[in-house]
Structure 1
Amino acid sequence: MDPSAQASRRALLRIAAVATAGGALAAVPLPAHAHPGRRFPRTLNVTAPGLYPEGVAWDPRREAFLVGSSAQGTVSVVRADGSVTPLVTPFARVSVLGIHVDARHDRILATYTDYFLRRLGMVDPTLPPVNGVGVFSLATGAPQRLVPVSAGSPVEPRVNDVTADRRGDIYVTDTEIDTVTRITRDGEVAGVITDDRFLTSGTGPNGIAHHPGGFVLVGKYDEGRLFRIDRPRSARPRVSEVRLDRPPVSVDGIAVRPDGSLVVVANDLSLPGGRTSRDSVLVYRSTDHWRSARLVREHTWPFEDPTTVAVTPHGEYAISGGLREILTGTPSATPGQFQLRRR
């Protein structure tokens, strides 16, 4: 094991100790009354030792954020005052990465994988990989089903992000085997979408979002490319590349705004060569149904390694969860904290 992996393993062991010492906490139920007028600060500095969230989503029922944990395998509620309360308790020894709130169907969708734990020697390598999408009650956080994804792949899988369409079909990216998997509302794997342009020796399909126009947008991380999947529910989906006038250095998380524009989070967290570029949050707009798009705004991000973004009534918030500490062993600039910041 190389020195960075050893440091990362020590970091995760400390995280596990913190989680164990803290004990189990009760999940937070839906409030009796919503607070639509509540104002959120531009920046939330959240104290949560050992959480290391990669994914974030907006929960319109609670008027709060939901964040995953790449170290503890949980989903937690983060409120405007920065308080953190567990909602989905650990259901396996995994990282929870992408999160999507499907309020229409009263559920939370979350990708889970033991990819990082396995690489750090914290999971028995003789056991098959644990990799899939969890479906949880939005009201209580109780698990409804766990759907394995990429089972039997010759390449070690790593699911990443997740979205859903209006009918409840689920779409999930795998950044290692370079695919998008469709899962029916009932939890059946219905198809795997592949394309030669998804293929890479690095980090592949990452952020994903369903567009109200009926198609799915997918970002390819390590080349900063964006793809549109038409007829995603059909037996033969059509994949086309969205022509970007100014491609980002990478495409991590993405989110569709109410006006149809797209927010893209870019970082160098998984790019070769370590720190090579600036972290940023960008906005793209299309006038031809996402056959092409132009950059209309770019924000250099003040917190390192933002990974994804949540669209809220208060603006778009990107999350910086300190993942570099887990991936490389490099200490976080703000130990025990993560940041949510409005664009």
Structure 2
Amino acid sequence: MKKIILCVFMAGCASVIPDQPTTRIEFNAPEAYPEGIAYDSNADVYFVSSARLGSVGKVTPAGVYSLLINDPTFKSTYGVKVHPDGKRLFVCVSDANYSKFTSSETRKKMARLVGIDIATGKKTDDIDLSKLVPGKHFANDLTFDSQQNAYITDSFSNVIYKVTPTGEASVFADSSMFKTEGVGLNGIVFHPSGYLLTVSSGTGSLYKIDLNNSKNITKVATEQFFMNGDGLLLTENRKLVVVQNGGSDKIYELTSEDNWSSAKLSASTLVADRFTYPSTAAMAKDKIWIMNAKFSELTDSTSVPSNKFSIQHARLMPLPR
């Protein structure tokens, strides 16, 4: 493998920066355009959604793709997470923009949280979130807290919903800070210290929401905005991975030393890695893997739909302090 040598004048040594992309798990899923990714350590498979077809599939580390569920009422599927019980997969179902099966009845109106039995592929839960607030809807991503409550971002209404383990749905957080045009609130994670972290694609800001008082919302002070910020992944209590697309197509690591009142950039991927519209991230066997959604093709009328997609290893290179 070729190397580009970059001399960093620290302690008289040079660091070696690779100029080749990282490992990709390639798989065939014609026209799927997967957006969400979740890793199941029990089965050693990745679950992936489909913004184009609405299906949910699974991918082995060897790159073998198979369908888990293909429900005709699922226009598009986005964020996916394995439930804390390890037996179900939960998926955000919407009809936001890219569905091949969009209709006037569902376009920008659908917002559902669907549970799927991992063993059988049968639907176990189906919670309608679209009636909780008026306006357009786009259930985009989700996370679970330590009590198995689910929290879901609506990227059009710019609210965060809460669904209890018994299926009771409500609006958890709604703030003027969240409001923006186009796609807003996106990736979301639960922090064990008792709060949520979420990113807005539209404002580029990270927000911290207290689970005990959802009106206690603060903007995380960062060195830059993350416009087109998408998936989030908390790798440890003070480290957060942010996936950014829309032209940047990079993955960043943020580190906080003050319980996420503020955060600094600590690492990022390289341009040489050539991510193709990265969307979401998952941790598998101590490595971070990114879903390459390739959504740029869906906005290009001359593009031929892809059959092949990839999950790519994120090599985070430390940034100079």
Task: Determine if the TM-score, normalized by the shorter chain, exceeds 0.5.
Answer: yes
Q: Secondary structure at the match of 2:274?
A: coil
Q: Secondary structure at the match of 1:116?
A: coil
Select the structure that is richer in strand. Answer: 2
Q: How far off its partner does 1:259 sit?
A: 5.4
Partner of 2:222: 244
Q: TM-score normalized by structure 1?
A: 0.79
CA gap 1:97/1:191 in 2 versus in 1, 3 angstroms: same
Partner of 2:76: 95
Q: How far off its partner does 1:175 sit?
A: 0.7
Q: How far off its partner does 1:167 sit?
A: 1.0
Percent identity (aligned): 25
Residue among 26, 39, 60 paired with 1:79: 60
Q: Deviations over 1:262-320 (max 9, x none)?
A: 0100011xxxxxxxx42100000101111100000111341221111111114001111
Q: Secondary structure at the match of 1:256?
A: strand
Partner of 2:313: 342
CA gap 1:128/1:44 in 2 versus in 1, 3 angstroms: closer
Equivalent residues of 2:277, 2:295 under 8 A apart: yes
Equivalent residues of 2:75, 2:102 under 8 A apart: no
Q: How far off its partner does 1:215 sit?
A: 1.0
Equivalent residues of 1:117, 1:123 under 8 A apart: no
> Equivalences for 1:288-303 in 2 at 5 Å?
288-299=258-269, 300=271, 301-303=273-275
Q: How far off its partner does 1:103 sit?
A: 3.6
Equivalent residues of 2:161, 2:171 under 8 A apart: yes
Partner of 1:26: none
Partner of 1:27: none
CA gap 1:58/1:198 in 2 versus in 1, 3 angstroms: same
Question: Structure 1 residue 287 and structure 2 residue 257: aligned?
Answer: yes
List alignment gaps of at least 5 residues for structure 2: 1-21, 315-321
Distance in 2, Cα, partners of 1:329 & 1:263: 32
Q: Secondary structure at the match of 2:85?
A: helix
* Root-mean-square deviation (Å): 2.3
CA gap 1:151/1:281 in 2 versus in 1, 3 angstroms: same
CA gap 1:50/1:152 in 2 versus in 1, 3 angstroms: same
Give the residue type in structure 1 aligned to 2:220: V
Question: Structure 1 residue 200 and structure 2 residue 180: aligned?
Answer: yes
Distance in 2, Cα, partners of 1:132 & 1:55: 15
Q: How far off its partner does 1:91 sit?
A: 5.0
Give the residue type in structure 1 aligned to 2:233: A
List alignment gaps of at least 5 residues for structure 1: 1-40, 269-276
Select the structure that is richer in helix. Answer: 1
CA gap 1:128/1:57 in 2 versus in 1, 3 angstroms: closer
Equivalent residues of 1:215, 1:229 under 8 A apart: yes
Equivalent residues of 1:198, 1:220 under 8 A apart: yes
Equivalent residues of 1:172, 1:181 under 8 A apart: yes
Q: Secondary structure at the match of 2:177?
A: helix
Q: How far off its partner does 1:243 sit?
A: 0.6
> Equivalences for 1:169-208 in 2 at 5 Å?
169-208=149-188
Distance in 1, Cα, partners of 2:211 & 2:65: 39
CA gap 1:56/1:185 in 2 versus in 1, 3 angstroms: same
Q: TM-score normalized by structure 2?
A: 0.84
Distance in 2, Cα, partners of 1:200 & 1:187: 29
* Count of aligned residue pairs for this structure pair: 291
